[in-house]
Structure 1
């Protein structure tokens, strides 16, 4: 059968497959999600085939279609043409991936791949999904959603990548690479984007060869200004906006057998605090609230304001309103100052291999206010001031050692340190709060204290510091048995240590002079809380992470592979612990991933990639927000516990196609079956001990506290773990589907108009940022009929755009709309024990016009 006959017979069912995955799908990603921009290769001409895509998944550049890793690569041009603001915009291109904000902090990332990730913003912990910028591991999630600027490509690698990437890539990695200086040609590009909600983005890039063919400088700048999607009902002003300035200078030098790139990073971020929205539980029937069953914050609101205070109860996401009630309307914000420098040197030894060095230093200073009670009353607020720095050094050697063996070997060193001061303040922290609450409830206390008598600035001061040091040696080898069959394997040895000291926010600390209580008597501690006796911690861990597999280039167009990889994330300390029991270290977690996939290009116009996986998680680190006795944060603490094990299995399908000239289509389907196989932890904090022996799932971890009422509670009270294995995993939807298309229509000799749109569907998923008590997943029916649950409902999101491209692709004018149908859903939820819940909805419908040039 000749190729023309093959196309005619194959294209019919192939088109049905592509369209079924794409559906009626629409795509702002304008170009194919896994392809480079066609206009760059052939300016002014519509695409006629799928371009070759390369990846850095193995630390050397390889064709993505012959790389044994589940990876989605997205070019910088594609990101620009899809109007991507930050990494969260990549979720629509990748199956079984959720790149979302944490929720409580403006640009902190909560990245999940195949049902696992991390929602912790503390520098004491390590992200579950590693972010690498120009080859450098980013230790903090709090800047994971910074603005993207002058990006060459972004790659999303699914599954553990420990044999080659960073310290903590237990479930996957996101690689963001910026464009390098061009030593041959002068260039200038830029854009202006204006949209609703006061959005104005200005970008500019200048590339100047200093010595043609030898050295060049590149300067990239972006200004972001945005009022925010919310309106604050307290002062009727916009809320949740951005004010950012990003500047990335770089220098490139090219020699006969070497090249050097030095990059700078500067960012000034003056955002609003995150716009937390009330999602509290206010039970009742027939429209009558049961005030006695309210959580504490909405109870205060109702007692203080009467029926008008019911606005502190949970609300349903609404297309008509996007409002918050925050009392901290002035002097509050989310301020970051980031600067860093990265150097990359590559030296090619002819006929031997390439020696590479990547070194980095990065400093982040932050000052963040949050009104967590999300009401117009001064009930519960925090301020976090933090200084964080990190440095890393990686020396790597890549060699095609022989006709049958090639390898990458290296050494890696990493160190970070942070110091954070936290103020927690509001009515809840005033010594008279209990009397004021009882008086408001009509309980005789013998005092006349009211809420108005409370000090809104009452609170406690705390401080935490940690130094983290890690080094590793790694090796990844390919052994080519034949021209088509290759065995591959890898090994990584890691050692890591953490020195941790803390004093929990408390009134016994010196808030004015920013000092922890130094009452004598506790030996060997620098920072501690004299009431809780919190001592510093020092611990270290080591690990060997292997990888093994085989791949087969069955034909020129078909690549098949299978692999087993072990991922590792080190142990650590709880950066927000509030009791002696929770300030102890938690242990490392380990994941074994089994993967089988094929990558197939049956013709130039069609690409089909399919991956199946099985993931076994052991000693899983799970975040919990629970009640604590005398702890920080109004009697609550946030901790990480090794809660048990979990497993995930699933399938990922990616299809790209160019069925006819100028028409581009892509689709992605992810199926995920993820669940806990065991989960034994104290998920609800201090409580009465069960009466029957053995009712705890791990009696060895029970902690009995002082019994305040031996008659009413003869078994005492304290911490005791329960079997919570029935709780679903966070951010692990069963289905993720996305698809898109774009179509280029010539406009005489002027250029062409490109119509594009995309669609993403995500099924129901648990969105709570931390562990929740058993039984609460069903939700609570509020008095007003709103069901308060920790679930995000399934949703379809559509985006669309139209762009005019000048014939030589020098000028471009675009109009885009995101979330066309204005669908609303709960994006993130935080349940703070018995105090309150707050949440953040997704972004509503918004639009923009962009004018750009590239000369």
Structure 2
């Protein structure tokens, strides 16, 4: 692992101070001279708002006449804001939360208008679809990979079921890379260095092979980072990045056709994600300041039994302050978040004069991962996992776009998608030693004999899951122009999906040495489940019709109004981390009806105002919960997805851009969201006594009681309760952001750009089930730390200074992010009676970047 000594940590701020001083001195000198660049200079400060195009309708259209709530961020803007991955886009988009899942280094948890997904399993489809160069990305586990050579990223809010289809039920993110340029040679390079050992090196070369006909392009990036965390267990940095990304591409253009082939190679050797303790350690009823260790979650209780008072400090919940960047990870049996990715994408366009354009897009992607996690987040080997997974996907889309007549145009197509994955999981540590119960009781009673420290840290269980998924769809989206200014929009998509699933939950009954599941049905302790043999035929098939109807009105050349109704769809599926046969059983699809009205207005060349209002009705919502499970399933908990009820969201989104004077650009975004559950009937608190009390659940018909002689009272039961009062996770009421950039000429040398932005997010719940399960009140620990599912409101400020040479041959930038060093919870994972852990946001950090354009 990389380390950074004290001299390098002092050297970084000194460099930042020196560069900032030079930049400000240059600016002050210009303020006195105020010399404008010569008339033939390459630089011109912007004085109007640029025209932005979008692919939101599968064809290139002006964003100001496209009836979709979409925010487009150019690759140049991303580069100037030093964006590392897609999470940096949250500040530009209202009612959008792009964040990491938590516990998994590169996994994305994207939420739009209060809905999304936090499950990293390949068995579960994301709620926000990510499309890279037109190819749907089926997995969230690589959603936060490094961005490189990006042309633009578009965030589409609201269901995109007609044109983009499956699993875009609340929105889509479109990331497009630059195409090879068949006319001009270009070569670029940049180096970014910052604190915490950050060093990014990237280069892009574009070479016309036959001028005007063919070109190749190659983009390469190396990312190295020491991580924001310090691991007290072995005194190393934690959360490191070590990545190589290679994007080769080739393009050929003919008179009426073009073809682009892209490759992707990714090698990621990151650290395991740093988990910070957030466990419950309440005090006694008589004196809340005295630890009631019997009421602790399991991990802090074990720590107390082994280490006494020090165990409380190590394992009880922390507040999300600067101390949260000090972690304790044992990593007895491994450490790392390793991915090997390769893919190939092709796009072919053929234009038939006066008829239309035929487009074929195809892709294949393979991702192999090997991820370790020390989930107990202590220096004791209590609960650890290793997940090894191979996932591949392929897709084909054929579409035809035609301006059929002056009054009618359309886009229609066919889509085919197939994916398959195989995942092996080892769950190990003291908790999985067969003698754990004996050692645990001895520690509590003070008895002699086997102690917790005598347990085998490598003891554990093996589990495996595989799923194949095949989907196809047919779609059409048409525009009927009543007049030059009034247009009726109608769209329809039909989708069929088939999934076949097998799993055995991690358990000692499986053959860990030979990596094999015990497939004996109904064997005590076995949770082998095969959808083909355990379900009636057709139970793993789903189909859907997603319609859209809208009306567009171009009231003037500067104002565009639209209203629409759209239905989004997310397929049903199976629980990839279930622990019992009935919780492995399939869950149903979910749908969302979205009613939206919007205004896009350019009253001046220097001013743009976009306003959207929406109402979203969610049916059969898929909710992922972590709950207690029978001990026979291994580990004492299981992660399940179930159709838990209904929800609705309403709100407004305002985006404003202004260029009040030459070189000065202002922008702002406001999102107001009122999202809540209207029905939430789910087993949020795990297994209960057998038999259950009549009427104990909100829907007695959903009660599941399992007879088992190994449990008290002869069995156990799952009893759904009415939890509709629980807020939706990651659905803050307010998101506000604003930014400014000002370009200042520096004699005839170039210009300085001063930029700053601010993002405010109101408080929000970060878990689906609450802490404790079914509650948002939280638990007060004995030391006064409130363990709550809420994330506090937060303000984040960023700023930069950039000098750009007059002919754009080089650029030097200094930036700082999270200037005020705001600390807040990024994500929370509450694991039933075992433990809770969290991840915190990125602290204040800075960097210097030098970019060259040859």
Judging changes above 3 Å, is the alpha-carbon distance between structure 1 residues 405 and 777 closer, same or farther for their aligned structure 2 residues?
Answer: same
Residue in structure 2 matched with residue 24 of structure 1 by the alignment: none
Instruction: Tell whether 2:556 aligns with 1:555.
Output: yes
Take 1:42 and 1:356, find their aligned partners in 2: how far apart are those partners? 41
Stretches of structure 2 that go unaligned for 5 or more consecutive residues are: 1-39, 533-538
Judging changes above 3 Å, is the alpha-carbon distance between structure 1 residues 561 and 61 closer, same or farther for their aligned structure 2 residues?
Answer: same
CA contact (8 A) 2:507 2:525 kept: no
> 3-state DSSP class of the match of 2:438?
helix
> 3-state DSSP class of the match of 2:821?
coil
CA contact (8 A) 2:625 2:640 kept: yes
- How far apart are residue 768 of structure 1 and its match? 1.6
Residue in structure 1 matched with residue 407 of structure 2 by the alignment: 404
Take 2:798 and 2:335, find their aligned partners in 1: how far apart are those partners? 33
CA contact (8 A) 1:273 1:333 kept: yes
1:498-517 maps to which residues of 2 (within 5 A)? 498-517=499-518
1:28-83: CA deviations, max 9, x gaps?
xxxxxxxxxxxxx9942111010000000000000000000000000000000000
1:265-315: CA deviations, max 9, x gaps?
000000000001100000114532111111000000011000010120001
Judging changes above 3 Å, is the alpha-carbon distance between structure 1 residues 269 and 80 closer, same or farther for their aligned structure 2 residues?
Answer: same
Residue in structure 1 matched with residue 485 of structure 2 by the alignment: 484
1:772-809: CA deviations, max 9, x gaps?
65553111111111101011100000000000011112
- How far apart are residue 101 of structure 1 and its match? 0.3
- How far apart are residue 176 of structure 1 and its match? 0.1
CA contact (8 A) 1:365 1:387 kept: yes
CA contact (8 A) 1:204 1:221 kept: yes
CA contact (8 A) 1:421 1:463 kept: yes
Residue in structure 2 matched with residue 576 of structure 1 by the alignment: 577
1:109-164: CA deviations, max 9, x gaps?
00000000000000001000000000000000000000000000000000000110
Instruction: Tell whether 2:398 aligns with 1:395.
Output: yes
Count residues with an aligned counterpart.
Answer: 805
1:670-717: CA deviations, max 9, x gaps?
00000000011111110136875323111111122337799x979x74
Determine which of 335, 339, 342 is the counterpart of 1:339: 342
Residue in structure 2 matched with residue 814 of structure 1 by the alignment: 813
Take 1:702 and 1:78, find their aligned partners in 2: how far apart are those partners? 53
CA contact (8 A) 1:624 1:772 kept: no
Take 1:531 and 1:746, find their aligned partners in 2: how far apart are those partners? 72
> 3-state DSSP class of the match of 1:374?
coil
Take 1:770 and 1:601, find their aligned partners in 2: how far apart are those partners? 44
Please report the RMSD computed on the Cα atoms of aligned residues, expressed in angstroms. Answer: 1.8
CA contact (8 A) 2:518 2:526 kept: no
Residue in structure 2 matched with residue 301 of structure 1 by the alignment: 303
Instruction: Tell whether 2:623 aligns with 1:622.
Output: yes
Take 1:662 and 1:550, find their aligned partners in 2: how far apart are those partners? 37
Take 1:631 and 1:731, find their aligned partners in 2: how far apart are those partners? 33
- How far apart are residue 443 of structure 1 and its match? 7.0
> 3-state DSSP class of the match of 2:472?
strand
Residue in structure 2 matched with residue 685 of structure 1 by the alignment: 686
Take 2:393 and 2:766, find their aligned partners in 1: how far apart are those partners? 30
Residue in structure 1 matched with residue 277 of structure 2 by the alignment: 278
Residue in structure 2 matched with residue 231 of structure 1 by the alignment: 230
- How far apart are residue 452 of structure 1 and its match? 1.7
- How far apart are residue 518 of structure 1 and its match? 4.1
Residue in structure 1 matched with residue 531 of structure 2 by the alignment: 536
Determine which of 423, 426, 430 is the counterpart of 2:433: 430
Take 1:42 and 1:170, find their aligned partners in 2: how far apart are those partners? 48
- How far apart are residue 417 of structure 1 and its match? 0.2
Determine which of 286, 289, 298 is the counterpart of 1:287: 289
Stretches of structure 1 that go unaligned for 5 or more consecutive residues are: 1-40, 523-527
Judging changes above 3 Å, is the alpha-carbon distance between structure 1 residues 187 and 632 closer, same or farther for their aligned structure 2 residues?
Answer: farther
Residue in structure 1 matched with residue 389 of structure 2 by the alignment: 386
Instruction: Tell whether 2:600 aligns with 1:599.
Output: yes
Take 1:281 and 1:258, find their aligned partners in 2: how far apart are those partners? 63
Take 2:763 and 2:838, find their aligned partners in 1: how far apart are those partners? 16
- How far apart are residue 724 of structure 1 and its match? 0.6
- How far apart are residue 532 of structure 1 and its match? 3.2
CA contact (8 A) 1:425 1:457 kept: yes
Take 2:846 and 2:233, find their aligned partners in 1: how far apart are those partners? 27
Take 1:118 and 1:584, find their aligned partners in 2: how far apart are those partners? 19
Residue in structure 2 matched with residue 847 of structure 1 by the alignment: 846
Determine which of 351, 363, 368 is the counterpart of 1:365: 368
Take 1:51 and 1:210, find their aligned partners in 2: how far apart are those partners? 32
Judging changes above 3 Å, is the alpha-carbon distance between structure 1 residues 456 and 774 closer, same or farther for their aligned structure 2 residues?
Answer: closer
> 3-state DSSP class of the match of 1:594?
strand
1:152-171 maps to which residues of 2 (within 5 A)? 152-171=151-170
CA contact (8 A) 2:324 2:840 kept: no
Take 1:42 and 1:389, find their aligned partners in 2: how far apart are those partners? 50
1:829-849: CA deviations, max 9, x gaps?
000000000000000000000
Residue in structure 1 matched with residue 97 of structure 2 by the alignment: 98
1:559-592: CA deviations, max 9, x gaps?
0000000000000000001101101000000000
> 3-state DSSP class of the match of 2:665?
strand
Residue in structure 1 matched with residue 722 of structure 2 by the alignment: 723
Residue in structure 2 matched with residue 319 of structure 1 by the alignment: 322
Residue in structure 1 matched with residue 71 of structure 2 by the alignment: 72
CA contact (8 A) 2:508 2:634 kept: no
> 3-state DSSP class of the match of 1:288?
coil
Take 1:341 and 1:632, find their aligned partners in 2: how far apart are those partners? 40
Judging changes above 3 Å, is the alpha-carbon distance between structure 1 residues 803 and 529 closer, same or farther for their aligned structure 2 residues?
Answer: farther
Residue in structure 2 matched with residue 132 of structure 1 by the alignment: 131
Take 2:524 and 2:703, find their aligned partners in 1: how far apart are those partners? 23
> 3-state DSSP class of the match of 2:303?
helix
Residue in structure 2 matched with residue 458 of structure 1 by the alignment: 459
Take 2:446 and 2:451, find their aligned partners in 1: how far apart are those partners? 12
Take 1:632 and 1:374, find their aligned partners in 2: how far apart are those partners? 23
1:380-435: CA deviations, max 9, x gaps?
00000000000000000000000000000000000000000000000000011111
Residue in structure 2 matched with residue 733 of structure 1 by the alignment: 732
Take 2:650 and 2:80, find their aligned partners in 1: how far apart are those partners? 34
- How far apart are residue 621 of structure 1 and its match? 0.2
Take 1:237 and 1:692, find their aligned partners in 2: how far apart are those partners? 52
> 3-state DSSP class of the match of 1:581?
helix
Residue in structure 2 matched with residue 11 of structure 1 by the alignment: none
Take 1:179 and 1:529, find their aligned partners in 2: how far apart are those partners? 56
CA contact (8 A) 2:502 2:528 kept: no
Judging changes above 3 Å, is the alpha-carbon distance between structure 1 residues 193 and 819 closer, same or farther for their aligned structure 2 residues?
Answer: same
Judging changes above 3 Å, is the alpha-carbon distance between structure 1 residues 599 and 207 closer, same or farther for their aligned structure 2 residues?
Answer: same
Which has the higher mean CA deviation after the structures are superposed, 766-775 or 694-703?
Answer: 766-775
Take 2:41 and 2:612, find their aligned partners in 1: how far apart are those partners? 32
> 3-state DSSP class of the match of 2:757?
strand
- How far apart are residue 529 of structure 1 and its match? 8.4
Take 1:628 and 1:828, find their aligned partners in 2: how far apart are those partners? 23
1:704-758: CA deviations, max 9, x gaps?
2337799x979x7411111111111010000000000011111000011111100
1:133-212 maps to which residues of 2 (within 5 A)? 133-212=132-211
- How far apart are residue 661 of structure 1 and its match? 1.1
